[in-house]
Amino acid sequence: MTEHVPRRTAEPRRLRRTVVLALTGALAAAGLAVSAGAAQAADSLGSAATAKGRYFGTAVASGHLGETDYAATLDREFNAVTPENEMKWDATESSRGNFTFGAADQIVSHAKAKGMKVRGHTLVWYSQLPGWVGGLGASDLQNAMDNHITQVMQHYKGQIYAWDVVNEAFQDGGSGARRSSPFQDKLGDGYIEHAFRTAHSVDPAAKLCYNDYNTDGVNAKSNAVYAMVKDFKQRGVPIDCVGFQSHFNSQSPVPGDYQANLQRFADLGVDVQITELDIEGSGSAQATNYGNVVKACLAVSRCTGMTVWGVTDKYSWRSSGTPLLFDGNYGKKPAYDAVLAALGGSSSGGGTDPGDGGGSTKSCTATYTETQRWGDRFNGQVTIRAGSSALSGWKVPVTVHSPQKVSTTWSGNPSWDAGGNVMTMASTGGLAAGATTSFGFTVMANGTWTAPAVGACTAS
């Protein structure tokens, strides 16, 4: 409150100064670092990921394996698979005690023949659950759940890299509560722990994951999952990994704190994996988003791999959003080139992503907080954290919502779009590996108090 008067009087002068700084800063930031490319860059997603110590997988539907172009693209580009539907409860045990593995076996034997990893998806999930499961009483349901986990995991014992033991057990929104399901409603919170303990007793070599969506940034839902994983690790419940589905579109964009969120889970002592990646859109916007997701994974040492949720747009569960790396004719999209470049590979024809410096893993995250509010305006702060490599610079777009206006900035070089709503803040210097820095700004609310949208951090 005491800051009210001095800050207001200082604003007009500061604004003019920051505009001048913005122009010089933008010119300085234009020289992007270009590092020497590797002697022989990998020319497929799988081989490029392997060179970075990761896998690059895709969801596969058994019904398409007979299509020549589908199988050829799968075999050329990917080194891990997740059966899209074939290992789910309705596919493997549609009637109690009768297990059917034909379709899933087809995928697993294809993967084994090609040396691909298999992610098992999924053992305990509220959806694609046959009706008989919901009709059971509590103790019977417990037996059925244990038996399902045991039979399915036994069948594939030794062949599965990681299992999604429990999928989507938390509600969306701000409650952080568990989602209602036969398991939750009849067995209570303890069913998740019980499922992991049962899974561990069946195949101790498989990595056991919890998998969910809308947990990709720091939010109430991911906080609830984080608390559960932390508790499991403290009490010795056998959990090895957390899967971040990463289904993105304009309503649910790649969060600015995506990498920071992966990192905080990794810091609990679990692996993290991007398990169902797809990003609606096209062209360079889609490509940039894909590149940023891959860079985030590479910057987190315990991010062991990425899986896209399908090979081609034409078979995507949301094909109208064209969210994948190959178009309906199996042509490589700009998103493909961006992913390959982010992985440090390059297409035979020469995939290009001038932002990526030939295999560099430079990366950063941006996290927004409102630090102060007055009757007419508020201050925002964005904290930048460098990934595992030192940065010579970074930039972050911040969009305010008209009629809001940014009146003051500090600790960065801002530049604005023509409309004055999108400010791109560039660094004033380098940042050591793992280090943080922050910039700030004042937003005149003009009646609108929506928080600014902070985009992904770009490292150079």
Our finding on whether 62 is near ligand G2I (CB under 6 A) is no
Give 275-343 as a DSSP string: EEEEE---HHHHHHHHHHHHHHHHHSTTEEEEEES-SBGGGSTTGGG--SSB-TT-PBPHHHHHHHHHT
Q: Which of 109, 127, 139, 371 binds ligand G2I (CB under 6 A)?
A: 127
> Which one is catalytic: 77, 84, 168, 280?
168
For residue 403, the minimal CB distance to ligand G2I (Å) is: 38
431 beta partners? 391
Q: How far is CA 194 from CA 17, 22, 187, in A?
A: 61, 56, 10
Please, which of residues 185-214 interact with ligand G2I by CB under 6 A? Answer: 213
Our finding on whether 85 is near ligand G2I (CB under 6 A) is yes
Rounded Cα gap, residues 259 and 407, in angstroms: 29
Please, which of residues 306-345 interact with ligand G2I by CB under 6 A? Answer: 317
439 beta partners? 382
Contact flags string 246-275 toward ligand G2I, x per CB under 6 A: ------------------------------
For residue 317, the minimal CB distance to ligand G2I (Å) is: 4
For residue 127, the minimal CB distance to ligand G2I (Å) is: 5
Q: Single out the residue of 2, 12, 3 nearest to residue 407, CA to CA.
A: 12
Our finding on whether 58 is near ligand G2I (CB under 6 A) is no
Rounded Cα gap, residues 11 and 19, in angstroms: 12
363 beta partners? none
* Residue 408: Cβ within 10 Å count: 21
Instruction: Between 45 and 91, name the residue whose CB sits nearer to ligand G2I.
Output: 91
DSSP assignment letter at 438 = E
Instruction: Between 245 and 379, name the residue whose CB sits nearer to ligand G2I.
Output: 245
Q: Write down the H helix ranges in 215-255.
A: 220-235
Instruction: Between 42 and 59, name the residue whose CB sits nearer to ligand G2I.
Output: 59
| Total of residues contacting ligand G2I (CB under 6 A) | 8
For residue 84, the minimal CB distance to ligand G2I (Å) is: 5
Cβ atoms 171, 179 nearer than 8 A: yes
For residue 336, the minimal CB distance to ligand G2I (Å) is: 20
Q: What is the CA radius of gyration of the chain?
A: 24
> Which one is catalytic: 77, 93, 276, 280?
276
Rounded Cα gap, residues 408 and 226, in angstroms: 36
| 11 is a catalytic site residue | no
Instruction: Between 219 and 446, name the residue whose CB sits nearer to ligand G2I.
Output: 219
Please, which of residues 212-231 interact with ligand G2I by CB under 6 A? Answer: 213
Our finding on whether 128 is near ligand G2I (CB under 6 A) is yes
Instruction: Between 47 and 85, name the residue whose CB sits nearer to ligand G2I.
Output: 85
Q: What angle do CA 251, 255, 256 make, to 5 degrees?
A: 135
Rounded Cα gap, residues 279 and 249, in angstroms: 6
**Beta-carbon-side half-sphere exposure of residue 153 (alpha carbons within 13 Å):** 28
Instruction: Between 275 and 361, name the residue whose CB sits nearer to ligand G2I.
Output: 275
Q: How far is CA 100 from CA 1, 89, 148, 154, 164, in A?
A: 67, 10, 12, 13, 19
For residue 169, the minimal CB distance to ligand G2I (Å) is: 12
Q: Which of 276, 280, 337, 353 binds ligand G2I (CB under 6 A)?
A: 276
Q: Which of 184, 214, 245, 404 binds ligand G2I (CB under 6 A)?
A: 245
For residue 193, the minimal CB distance to ligand G2I (Å) is: 21
Q: Which of 42, 44, 55, 84 binds ligand G2I (CB under 6 A)?
A: 84
| 276 is a catalytic site residue | yes
Closest residue to ligand G2I, Cβ-based? 317
Instruction: Between 84 and 280, name the residue whose CB sits nearer to ligand G2I.
Output: 84
Cβ atoms 405, 422 nearer than 8 A: no
Indicate which residues carry an active-site annotation.
168, 276
Which residues of this chain interact with ligand G2I, rule CB under 6 A? 84-85, 127-128, 213, 245, 276, 317
